[in-house]
Amino acid sequence: MNIVFIGDVVGRSGREAFKKHITTIKEKYSPDAVIVNGENAAHGFGITESICKEFYDIGVDCITTGNHIWSQREVIVYIGRDKKLIRPLNYPDDSPGKGYYELNVFGGKLLVINLMGREFMYSVDCPFRKIDNFLKNYRLGGNVKGIFIDFHAEVTSEKMAMAHFLDGRVSAVVGTHTHVPTADAHILPKGTAFQSDAGMTGDYNGVIGYTPEAPIFKFLRRMPGERFTPASGEGTVCGTYIKIDDISGKAIKISPVRIGGILSQS
């Protein structure tokens, strides 16, 4: 099974870059599942119904999110109607929507799970205890062919700890949120693929996808300023390719994806 995961799509630049390069991505990787983190897709904050449909129209199978899931208020109602749009599993149980999606592949299922970290993030339920309890209903290579986790977290060590905590129980743990692609893509000893952060899909000639002025003002003055505005230059598509063994559900290969824009291509 081949999975392509695309990191945080930021604003119009990110959406346009993704649409521009999705055909190349499909031709190169022949993905059985395309998963996208879309929590910054709507002008940098949140996602909307129309953007979700835009993603589905070009072949996206599931959309993950994170701390900006509720930034566009229409999603509070919409997410209940769209099972392919998921929010972090460790949000309160009575939050709208779900934290997972079972995607049909190969006559089996690929389980996609969204988690959010707690270090320097919103106060949410413990992601370690939440996922440990949730996975009791699933067996990798048994009732599911693969398990992919988007761990939306700030701290690198928390992401690494989660990957080792789940090593051998899930196919892959890939981080999002920092908007910077990391060079640590590898397979852990028991067969779980890991990368600290897939990076963002957007304009890297800015500050984590936004025009520099507002972030600079914030750091200089230590006070609120204008709302961050997504940078509008050519975007780079950043993500991760993962190949999973069809029998065991464990990872065979993981490699970064970088196409377009100003970053080195991969």
* Catalytic hit among 21, 68, 152, 177: 68
- The CA-atom distances, in angstroms, between 67 and each of 108, 150, 171, 176, 186 are 30, 13, 24, 11, 26
Instruction: Name residues whose C-beta falls within 8 Å of residue 46's C-beta, 6 or more positions apart in sequence.
Output: 39, 40, 68, 69, 70, 71, 72, 75
Continuous H helices in the chain: 11-29, 49-57, 75-78, 127-134, 156-166, 213-221
For residue 152, indicate whether it is catalytic: no
**Burial (Cβ within 10 Å: 0-12, 13-18, ≥19) of residue 73:** exposed
Active-site residues, by number, are: 68
